[in-house]
Amino acid sequence: MATIKLNNGHQMPQVGFGLWKVGNETCADTVYNAIKVGYRLFDGACDYGNEKEAGQGVARAIKEGLVKRSDLFLVSKLWNSFHDGPRVMPIAKKQLEDWGIDYFDLYIVHFPVSLKYVDPAVAYPPGWTAPDGSVQLSNATIQETWTAMETLVDAGLARSIGISNFQGSLILDLLRYARIRPATLQIEHHPYLVQPTLLQLAASEGIAVTAYSSFGPQSFIELDWQKAHDTPVLFEHGVVTGLAGKYGKTPAQILLRWATQRGLAVIPKSNNADRLKQNLEVTGFDLEKGELESISALDRHLRFNNPTDNQRLDKRCFPAQKEVDTSFELHSMYIFSSINYSATENEDELHAIHDIYQCNLFAELFSKRRPTPCKYV
């Protein structure tokens, strides 16, 4: 099985199984069957609401001798409601108890958004809204949260820690104070949302990237999101189907190979036994350089996992990707600890840039000052 060596020396399987949207009634069997097929990495989260069932599938496979715990790479995530420093370790311990394990191979900050604490006895998983239906932000900083994440490594509760849904400005800020660097960055990544500058930044900083929602709109159609319904299905795009025919692969395998051949990890899911096996077999053939580029050329800067589309969050916190790219490129922003406000004299533009930076969310870094060649092409 192909693996990616993390910046702390641990090996992470390049192809894993994502547990988002796996129902509670089927999750235990799904995990067990995926282990039988050959999956070793399982990507879970508090917010998915199925960690107990995932743990049951793992326990069954271990009990039957299919695998040992050390054979598996189990991933979970810290939800937004537990970003306050003193809340991090207790919730991580609860999640470990739900899984029935002693440590996570990788524990990730799910979103760079801090929400007010919700007692698990009141609502679990708490979701984006408080019990009264409102969105209530916490004053916890990412530095406070990350410092608490580092204590999980110190305590042996997590072997690696990482981040998800972070963009360039926040990553560079985090790297200035991190005692333990993030081992991985998990992002939405598919041919409609390539984010090459962000990938270049991650590569130059030695942060492995895991792509989620590798099939673009397909991952969101079952949620009945209008944006997904309005977007051409990648499985039916001529570029993808043409390559599938040439190589005798499924469109899904072509999309996954486009990611893995460029050095990314992927975490697809399927309830179909044949597709389970097919999705695992995406490192044994190579696309030509021009073919990789033809898939990347489908980029629309189109993000589907935008919480402001479906939650009561200030839309300035999740600006449209293309708007951010354009804004940062026009003003040649080099974001480290401050903004180069002298790049523009327009007051409205200054306020817009300040809002984007202050929100620290989904702002693509314009990083021409980092010439390091990127493996994510």
Q: Which token pair is 31?
A: 């995990």
- Is residue 372 included in any domain, yes or no? no
Report residue 263's pLDDT band, with 50, 70 and 90 as the boundaries: very high
The reply to whether 158 and 91 lie within a common domain is: yes
Decide which of 296, 323, 340 is a domain's last residue: 296
In this prediction, residue 223 carries a pLDDT of 82
Q: Two tokens at 331? A: 């003003």
Whether residue 259 contacts residue 266, with contact meaning beta carbons closer than 8 Å, is answered with: yes
Would 37 be classed as within a structural domain?
Answer: yes
Residue ranges making up the domain that contains 35: 3-296
Amino acid at 152: L
CA neighbor of 295 nearest in space, from 248, 351, 241, 247: 241
Q: Is residue 302 part of a domain?
A: no
48 an active-site residue?
yes
Computed over every residue of the chain, the mean pLDDT equals 86
Domain end point (choices 296, 328, 351): 296
Question: Model-level pTM?
Answer: 0.85
Q: Which two tokens stand for residue 192?
A: 């409609």
Number of domains in the chain: 2
pLDDT tens, 179-224? 999 999 999 999 999 999 999 999 999 999 999 999 999 988 888 8
pLDDT band at 360 (very low <50, low <70, confident <90, very high): very low
Question: Any bridge partners for residue 109, and if so which?
Answer: 78, 163
Backbone angles phi, psi at 109, to 5 degrees: -75, 115
Q: What is the gyration radius of the CA atoms in the chain, in angstroms?
A: 20
Residue 249 and residue 314 share a domain: no
Residue 273 lies in a domain: yes
Q: Is the pLDDT of residue 81 over 70?
A: yes
DSSP string, 41-61: EEE--GGGS-HHHHHHHHHHH
Residue 79 sits at the vertex; the CA angle it makes with 81 and 271, to the nearest 5 degrees, is 140
312 and 244 housed in the same domain: no
In this predicted structure, what is the pLDDT of residue 323? 41
pLDDT beyond 70 at 105: yes
The gap from C-alpha 22 to its chain's centroid, in whole angstroms, comes to 17
The one catalytic residue among 48, 117, 212, 357: 48
Cβ-based neighbour number of residue 265 at 10 Å: 23
pLDDT reported for residue 369: 34
Instruction: Give me the CATH number covering residue 44.
Output: 3.20.20.100
Nearest to 186 by CA among 175, 195, 176, 178: 195
Q: Would you call 34 helix, strand, or coil by DSSP?
A: helix
Same domain for 167 and 63, yes or no, is: yes
Reduced to 3 states (helix: H, G, I; strand: E, B; else coil), residue 347 is: helix
Residue 313 lies in a domain: yes
Residues 352 and 219 in one domain: no
Domain membership of residue 49 (yes or no) is yes
Q: What angle do CA 18, 97, 9 make, to 5 degrees?
A: 60
**Which residue in the block uniquely carries the two structure tokens 């189990």?**
74
pLDDT at 144 over 60: yes
End-to-end Cα distance, the chain: 23
Mark which of 296, 322, 349 sits at the end of a domain.
296
Residues 126 and 161 in one domain: yes
Handedness of CA 218, 223, 228, 229 (dihedral sign): positive
Alpha-carbon span 305 to 310, nearest angstrom: 9
Same-domain check for residues 63 and 112: yes
Q: Is residue 332 part of a domain?
A: yes
Q: What is the pLDDT of residue 129?
A: 87
Tens digit of pLDDT for each residue in 47-63?
999 999 999 999 999 99
The average pLDDT across 90-110 equals: 99
Average pLDDT over residues 232-238: 96
Confidence of residue 319 (pLDDT cuts 50, 70, 90): low
The residue that leads in pLDDT, 320 or 66, is 66
Confidence (pLDDT) at 309: 66
Are 54 and 136 members of one domain? yes
Residue 314: predicted pLDDT: 58
Both 230 and 351 in one domain: the answer is: no
Looking at the structure, tell me whether residues 58 and 30 fall in a common domain. Answer: yes
Is 369 within the bounds of a domain? Answer: no
Q: Are both 75 and 167 inside the same structural domain?
A: yes
- Shared domain for 286 and 328, answered yes or no, is no
